[in-house]
Protein backbone atom coordinates (compact mmCIF):
# COMPACT_ATOMS: atom_id res chain seq x y z
CA UNK A 1 0.00 0.00 0.00
CA UNK A 2 1.25 3.47 -0.79
CA UNK A 3 0.13 6.83 0.56
CA UNK A 4 2.65 9.13 -1.07
CA UNK A 5 0.30 11.34 -3.08
CA UNK A 6 0.92 9.68 -6.44
CA UNK A 7 -2.06 8.12 -8.09
CA UNK A 8 -0.13 4.86 -8.45
CA UNK A 9 -1.45 4.17 -4.94
CA UNK A 10 -4.86 3.48 -6.48
CA UNK A 11 -3.55 0.45 -8.34
CA UNK A 12 -1.96 -1.04 -5.22
CA UNK A 13 -5.17 -0.44 -3.25
CA UNK A 14 -7.11 -2.31 -5.90
CA UNK A 15 -4.80 -5.28 -5.57
CA UNK A 16 -3.74 -5.04 -9.22
CA UNK A 17 -0.01 -4.66 -8.79
CA UNK A 18 2.87 -3.09 -6.89
CA UNK A 19 3.68 0.59 -7.26
CA UNK A 20 6.65 -0.17 -9.52
CA UNK A 21 4.49 -2.30 -11.79
CA UNK A 22 1.83 0.41 -11.83
CA UNK A 23 4.39 2.90 -13.12
CA UNK A 24 5.36 0.42 -15.85
CA UNK A 25 1.70 -0.01 -16.86
CA UNK A 26 1.29 3.75 -17.09
CA UNK A 27 4.43 4.12 -19.22
CA UNK A 28 3.14 1.36 -21.53
CA UNK A 29 -0.16 3.19 -22.03
CA UNK A 30 -2.18 0.39 -20.46
CA UNK A 31 -3.90 2.79 -18.05
CA UNK A 32 -6.71 5.02 -19.30
CA UNK A 33 -8.64 7.83 -17.63
CA UNK A 34 -12.06 8.51 -19.14
CA UNK A 35 -10.99 6.53 -22.19
CA UNK A 36 -7.72 8.42 -22.74
CA UNK A 37 -4.36 6.72 -22.20
CA UNK A 38 -1.97 8.42 -19.76
CA UNK A 39 1.79 7.91 -19.70
CA UNK A 40 2.89 10.12 -16.78
CA UNK A 41 2.83 8.70 -13.21
CA UNK A 42 2.23 12.18 -11.80
CA UNK A 43 -1.04 12.62 -13.67
CA UNK A 44 -3.67 13.78 -11.16
CA UNK A 45 -7.09 12.17 -11.13
CA UNK A 46 -10.05 11.89 -8.79
CA UNK A 47 -10.80 8.13 -8.65
CA UNK A 48 -14.31 8.84 -7.36
CA UNK A 49 -15.18 10.95 -10.39
CA UNK A 50 -13.09 9.60 -13.26
CA UNK A 51 -13.40 6.21 -14.96
CA UNK A 52 -10.01 4.52 -14.68
CA UNK A 53 -9.24 1.31 -16.54
CA UNK A 54 -6.23 -1.00 -16.74
CA UNK A 55 -6.11 -3.14 -19.91
CA UNK A 56 -9.74 -2.17 -20.44
CA UNK A 57 -10.89 -3.34 -17.01
CA UNK A 58 -12.31 -0.77 -14.57
CA UNK A 59 -10.28 -0.02 -11.49
CA UNK A 60 -12.06 -0.75 -8.23
CA UNK A 61 -10.94 0.35 -4.78
CA UNK A 62 -9.96 -2.57 -2.60
CA UNK A 63 -12.36 -3.25 0.26
CA UNK A 64 -10.87 -2.20 3.58
CA UNK A 65 -10.35 -5.09 6.00
CA UNK A 66 -9.45 -4.93 9.67
CA UNK A 67 -8.40 -8.00 11.65
CA UNK A 68 -7.37 -8.53 15.26
CA UNK A 69 -4.97 -11.46 15.59
CA UNK A 70 -3.77 -13.14 18.76
CA UNK A 71 -0.13 -13.44 17.75
CA UNK A 72 1.74 -16.35 19.32
CA UNK A 73 5.40 -16.20 20.24
CA UNK A 74 7.74 -17.38 17.49
CA UNK A 75 6.22 -15.30 14.66
CA UNK A 76 7.69 -12.13 13.15
CA UNK A 77 5.55 -9.10 12.28
CA UNK A 78 6.97 -8.56 8.81
CA UNK A 79 5.68 -9.40 5.34
CA UNK A 80 8.63 -11.73 4.71
CA UNK A 81 11.66 -12.97 6.59
CA UNK A 82 15.09 -13.70 5.06
CA UNK A 83 15.81 -16.11 7.91
CA UNK A 84 12.78 -18.20 7.03
CA UNK A 85 11.00 -17.72 10.36
CA UNK A 86 7.19 -17.93 10.48
CA UNK A 87 5.43 -14.64 9.66
CA UNK A 88 2.11 -13.50 11.10
CA UNK A 89 0.29 -13.65 7.77
CA UNK A 90 0.93 -17.42 7.77
CA UNK A 91 -1.85 -17.47 10.36
CA UNK A 92 -4.33 -16.01 7.85
CA UNK A 93 -4.41 -18.67 5.10
CA UNK A 94 -8.07 -17.99 4.24
CA UNK A 95 -7.56 -14.26 3.66
CA UNK A 96 -7.10 -13.43 -0.02
CA UNK A 97 -6.39 -9.72 0.43
CA UNK A 98 -2.85 -8.51 1.06
CA UNK A 99 -2.81 -7.37 4.70
CA UNK A 100 0.05 -5.91 6.70
CA UNK A 101 0.65 -5.71 10.48
CA UNK A 102 0.21 -2.38 12.26
CA UNK A 103 3.10 -1.77 14.61
CA UNK A 104 5.50 -4.30 16.04
CA UNK A 105 5.46 -7.31 18.29
CA UNK A 106 8.89 -8.90 18.43
CA UNK A 107 9.54 -12.59 17.88
CA UNK A 108 9.28 -13.48 21.57
CA UNK A 109 6.21 -11.32 22.29
CA UNK A 110 2.57 -12.27 21.90
CA UNK A 111 -0.92 -10.84 21.99
CA UNK A 112 -3.07 -8.35 20.12
CA UNK A 113 -1.91 -7.49 16.62
CA UNK A 114 -3.90 -5.40 14.17
CA UNK A 115 -3.67 -6.29 10.47
CA UNK A 116 -5.26 -4.29 7.68
CA UNK A 117 -4.97 -3.05 4.11
CA UNK A 118 -5.91 0.49 5.19
CA UNK A 119 -2.66 2.46 5.18
CA UNK A 120 -4.28 5.69 6.36
CA UNK A 121 -5.68 4.05 9.47
CA UNK A 122 -2.41 2.23 10.12
CA UNK A 123 -0.56 5.57 10.08
CA UNK A 124 -3.01 7.00 12.60
CA UNK A 125 -2.57 4.05 14.94
CA UNK A 126 1.23 4.28 14.77
CA UNK A 127 1.70 8.08 14.70
CA UNK A 128 2.42 9.67 18.08
CA UNK A 129 0.13 12.60 17.25
CA UNK A 130 -2.95 10.40 17.66
CA UNK A 131 -1.76 8.95 20.99
CA UNK A 132 -3.28 5.51 20.52
CA UNK A 133 -2.72 3.62 23.75
CA UNK A 134 -1.21 0.14 23.67
CA UNK A 135 -1.69 -2.00 26.76
CA UNK A 136 0.75 -4.77 27.70
CA UNK A 137 1.12 -7.34 30.43
CA UNK A 138 4.82 -7.65 31.24
CA UNK A 139 6.03 -10.52 33.39
CA UNK A 140 9.28 -9.25 34.90
CA UNK A 141 11.92 -10.75 37.12
CA UNK A 142 11.47 -10.12 40.85
CA UNK A 143 9.42 -7.24 42.28
CA UNK A 144 10.35 -3.70 41.15
CA UNK A 145 10.41 -0.96 43.77
CA UNK A 146 7.56 1.51 43.76
CA UNK A 147 10.06 4.29 43.06
CA UNK A 148 11.34 2.46 39.97
CA UNK A 149 7.81 2.05 38.61
CA UNK A 150 7.24 5.76 39.21
CA UNK A 151 10.36 6.48 37.13
CA UNK A 152 8.86 4.54 34.24
CA UNK A 153 5.56 6.38 34.64
CA UNK A 154 7.31 9.74 34.44
CA UNK A 155 9.52 8.73 31.52
CA UNK A 156 13.12 7.57 31.35
CA UNK A 157 15.90 8.11 28.83
CA UNK A 158 16.27 5.28 26.31
CA UNK A 159 18.70 5.47 23.41
CA UNK A 160 19.29 9.16 24.14
CA UNK A 161 15.61 10.16 24.20
CA UNK A 162 13.12 10.36 27.05
CA UNK A 163 10.05 8.18 26.82
CA UNK A 164 6.58 9.64 27.12
CA UNK A 165 4.71 9.15 30.41
CA UNK A 166 3.30 5.66 30.96
CA UNK A 167 0.67 4.11 33.22
CA UNK A 168 1.65 1.08 35.29
CA UNK A 169 -0.25 -1.23 37.60
CA UNK A 170 0.92 -4.36 39.41
CA UNK A 171 -1.45 -7.22 38.54
CA UNK A 172 0.16 -10.24 40.23
CA UNK A 173 3.05 -10.92 42.58
CA UNK A 174 4.65 -14.35 42.61
CA UNK A 175 7.77 -15.78 44.18
CA UNK A 176 10.31 -14.72 41.58
CA UNK A 177 8.26 -12.69 39.07
CA UNK A 178 5.72 -9.88 38.90
CA UNK A 179 3.06 -9.28 36.26
CA UNK A 180 2.68 -5.56 35.51
CA UNK A 181 0.22 -3.82 33.22
CA UNK A 182 1.83 -1.00 31.29
CA UNK A 183 0.08 1.43 28.94
CA UNK A 184 2.07 3.52 26.46
CA UNK A 185 1.29 5.25 23.18
CA UNK A 186 4.77 5.04 21.70
CA UNK A 187 5.94 2.20 19.51
CA UNK A 188 9.72 2.19 19.64
CA UNK A 189 11.45 -1.09 18.93
CA UNK A 190 11.45 -3.32 22.03
CA UNK A 191 10.45 -0.30 24.13
CA UNK A 192 8.69 -2.10 26.98
CA UNK A 193 11.53 -4.59 27.32
CA UNK A 194 14.10 -1.78 27.35
CA UNK A 195 12.12 0.19 29.96
CA UNK A 196 12.08 -2.67 32.45
CA UNK A 197 15.67 -3.61 31.64
CA UNK A 198 16.65 -0.03 32.54
CA UNK A 199 15.35 -0.47 36.09
CA UNK A 200 16.99 -3.87 36.51
CA UNK A 201 13.92 -6.08 36.06
CA UNK A 202 14.13 -7.77 32.64
CA UNK A 203 10.95 -8.94 30.91
CA UNK A 204 10.46 -12.69 30.87
CA UNK A 205 7.19 -12.64 28.96
CA UNK A 206 5.38 -9.83 27.12
CA UNK A 207 1.80 -9.80 25.91
CA UNK A 208 -0.10 -6.93 24.29
CA UNK A 209 -3.69 -7.02 25.49
CA UNK A 210 -5.25 -3.96 23.84
CA UNK A 211 -5.09 -1.10 21.36
CA UNK A 212 -7.09 1.75 22.92
CA UNK A 213 -10.27 0.03 24.15
CA UNK A 214 -10.06 -2.76 21.59
CA UNK A 215 -9.11 -5.64 23.85
CA UNK A 216 -7.80 -9.10 23.04
CA UNK A 217 -10.17 -10.62 25.62
CA UNK A 218 -10.68 -14.38 25.11
CA UNK A 219 -9.49 -14.63 21.50
CA UNK A 220 -7.50 -17.91 21.36
CA UNK A 221 -3.80 -17.81 20.54
CA UNK A 222 -3.15 -18.06 16.81
CA UNK A 223 -6.75 -17.12 15.92
CA UNK A 224 -8.20 -13.89 14.56
CA UNK A 225 -11.46 -12.03 14.17
CA UNK A 226 -12.73 -9.39 11.76
CA UNK A 227 -13.36 -5.93 13.16
CA UNK A 228 -16.42 -3.81 12.44
CA UNK A 229 -16.77 -0.01 12.56
CA UNK A 230 -17.46 0.00 16.29
CA UNK A 231 -14.30 -2.05 16.91
CA UNK A 232 -12.21 0.33 14.79
CA UNK A 233 -13.49 3.33 16.77
CA UNK A 234 -12.33 1.62 19.98
CA UNK A 235 -8.75 1.88 18.72
CA UNK A 236 -8.81 5.62 19.37
CA UNK A 237 -10.59 5.59 22.75
CA UNK A 238 -8.13 6.70 25.42
CA UNK A 239 -10.05 5.60 28.51
CA UNK A 240 -9.75 1.94 29.45
pLDDT digits (tens, 9 = 90+) for 104-145: 899 999 999 999 999 889 988 988 788 899 999 999 999 999
26 & 47 share domain? yes
pLDDT value at 230 more than 80: yes
pLDDT digits (tens, 9 = 90+) for 156-176: 999 899 999 999 999 999 889
- Alpha helix stretches (DSSP H) within 58-118: none
Asked if residue 137 is part of any domain, the answer here is yes
What CATH number does the domain containing 51 carry?
A: 3.10.290.10
Mean of pLDDT over the chain: 85
72 & 110 share domain? yes
204 & 223 share domain? no
Do residues 237 and 213 touch, judged by C-beta distance below 8 A?
A: yes
Residue 128 is predicted with a pLDDT of 79
Q: Is 89 left (phi over 0), alpha (psi -120 to 50) or beta?
A: alpha
Full domain range(s) for residue 28: 9-58
- Give the residue with greater pLDDT, 39 vs 203: 203
Binning pLDDT at 50, 70 and 90, where does residue 181 land? very high
- Give the residue with greater pLDDT, 228 vs 2: 228
Q: Determine which one of 55, 81, 106, 148 is catalytic.
A: 106
220 & 207 share domain? no
Distance from C-alpha of 169 to C-alpha of 152, rounded to nearest angstrom: 11
Residue 59 is predicted with a pLDDT of 67
Distance from C-alpha of 170 to C-alpha of 8, rounded to nearest angstrom: 49
Q: What is the pTM of this model?
A: 0.76
What CATH number does the domain containing 86 carry?
A: 3.30.70.580
pLDDT digits (tens, 9 = 90+) for 199-211: 999 999 999 999 9
Nearest to 231 by CA among 218, 214, 217: 214
43 & 149 share domain? no
Instruction: List the helix and strand counts (H, then E) for the chain.
Output: 6, 15
pLDDT digits (tens, 9 = 90+) for 149-161: 999 999 999 989 9
For the chain, the domain total comes to 3
Helix (H) or strand (E) holding 168: strand 167-173
- Please list, in sequence order, all residues whose beta carbon lies within 8 angstroms of the beta carbon of residue 79, skipping any fewer than 6 positions away: 87, 89, 100
35 & 141 share domain? no
Residue 40 is predicted with a pLDDT of 72
Q: 106 an active-site residue?
A: yes
- Give the residue with greater pLDDT, 236 vs 16: 236
Asked if residue 70 is part of any domain, the answer here is yes
Amino acid sequence: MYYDGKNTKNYTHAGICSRRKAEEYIAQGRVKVDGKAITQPGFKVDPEQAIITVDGKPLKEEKKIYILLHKPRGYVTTMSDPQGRPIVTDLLPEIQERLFPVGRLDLDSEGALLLTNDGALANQVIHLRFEVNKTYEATVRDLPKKSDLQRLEQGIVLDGKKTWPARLRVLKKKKDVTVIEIIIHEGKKRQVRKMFQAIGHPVIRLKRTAYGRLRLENLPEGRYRFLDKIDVKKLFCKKN
